[in-house]
Amino acid sequence: MAKLPLLLLIPLLVTLVPSASAEIKTLKITSDSRPMILFERFGFTHTGHATISVSSVSVVSSLSTPDPSRLGFFLLSEESLIQVLLELQQTPSFCVLDSKFITPLFTFRGLSPPPASSFVHSYPVTSPNEYSLFFANCAPESKVSMAVRTELYNLDNMGRVKDYLSAGLTQLPALYFTFSMIYFGFLGFWIYYCCKNRLSVHRIHVLMSLLVVMKALNLLCAAEDKHYVKSTGTPHGWDVLFYIFQFIRVVLLFTVIVLIGTGWSFLKPFLQEREKKVLMIVVPLQVLANVASVVIGETGPFIKDWVTWNQVFLLVDIICCCAIIFPIVWSIRSLRETSKTDGKAARNLAKLTLFRQFYIVVIGYLYFTRIIVFALRTIAAYKYQWVAFAAEEIASLAFYTVMFYMFRPVEKNEYFVLDEEEEEAAEMALRDEEFEL
């Protein structure tokens, strides 16, 4: 009966596990009593292989000596998951290793005799699909310790080259490299434009330049990371650089959005106390979110606290997304109040329009990258998982382009025209409630 609640979490686990990189992994399981352990997901082609190496195996039970055939590894496709759950609901004591819907790999019956207690074998995957690799422990009151090495791959180039990236993600190195080159070109154009209008350049534009640099380097490192994982199964240290640049890039992105939302640098040279508090909340939360991201990316769902780290990451990301909206709302309301007293209706209307547009752009960007992209990853066939990553990068590029265009360095009189007719029209516009949020 204790197995059922955990097994009901399988759909959640399978949804959360990204089939992003099935690099060669060496894992250590110590005194683990979980009835099922999810290791990773992988999209196999018709040339797929799964190599499992197990060593230093020990099983401790408070009851009788466990049956070794009740512990083992298997593959489970998403289509078969529902059938397995139905079997478990109908018979709570049912062992998943007995299910006809799984693809069994091996049980502990195949282990070499003690003290070696090891096993190494490679299994061809004859039916192309996306599978989750599980370990099942159907021995009651038992704890398992072992060292596990997993190697999931597809064979390309007439079966001579191993591809360690999932079938739907093998395009990622080229995708990330292409977008990194686009951002480097974006940076060159932005620097040229700032130099051309250097009299209108503010400190915020320097931070925006740095943001593009970090984004381009982050994508370049991601491309190298995926390239080495694809060809060798290990990232060769590129994952460290990827996480460093990702951390700097994400913190800078949220900081730039907050600073632009407050009007810092080009509307006012200082931050109010409440705006400083937003930054003091967002930056540490982003540090925590990136720590969670590293744990999620580098360990995998086999660790006991993996679901907790996913929940931490999602919660922190939601809090940060909400927090960065407040400065934009404050700026819009502040400008609306100021417009009633300073007599510069056209200038304030232009500012209000600009910030309202920025508010809509930020909301749209957050909604698309947090909800639409997640939906794409969930519903897309495993062979087309790369489409969700491409959509996320396209949305990010569009957001950067719109944000940089809206707040590019230009002469003030190009933003705000103050002739009499426009001044009167602006006063009329400011009387209505179209800028109330």
Which letter does DSSP use for residue 387 in this model? H
Is residue 173 within 8 A of residue 63, CB to CB? The reply is no
What residues have CB less than 8 Å from 134, skipping those under 6 apart?
Answer: 36, 37, 38, 39, 73, 74, 75, 76, 96
Q: What is the pLDDT of residue 416?
A: 41
Mean pLDDT of the chain: 81
Which of 139, 163, 187 corresponds to the end of one domain? 163
User: Does the residue 437 lie in any domain?
Assistant: no
What residues have CB less than 8 Å from 19, skipping those under 6 apart?
Answer: 40, 41, 42, 43, 130, 166, 168, 169, 382, 385
Is residue 181 within 8 A of residue 210, CB to CB? The reply is no
Residues 249 and 370 grouped into a single domain: yes
What residues have CB less than 8 Å from 39, skipping those under 6 apart?
Answer: 25, 27, 132, 133, 134, 135, 148, 150, 300, 301, 302
With a cut of 50, list the residues of the chain below it in pLDDT: 1-9, 12-16, 19-20, 413-423, 435
Residues 224 and 335 grouped into a single domain: yes
Residues 159 and 120 grouped into a single domain: yes
Q: Give the pLDDT confidence of 239-287 residue by residue, as tens digits.
A: 889 888 988 998 899 888 888 887 776 656 656 677 777 777 777 777 7
Distance in angstroms between the alpha carbons of the first and the last residue of the chain: 51
Residues 121 and 180 grouped into a single domain: no
Tokens linked to 293: 């991201």
Percent of the chain predicted with pLDDT > 70: 80
Residues 251 and 323 grouped into a single domain: yes
CATH at residue 92: 2.60.120
Number of domains the chain is built from: 2
Look up the domain containing 211 and give its range. 172-431
Q: Give the pLDDT confidence of 89-125 residue by residue, as tens digits.
A: 888 788 899 989 999 998 998 888 877 788 899 999 9
Residues 73 and 108 grouped into a single domain: yes
Is residue 44 within 8 A of residue 129, CB to CB? The reply is yes
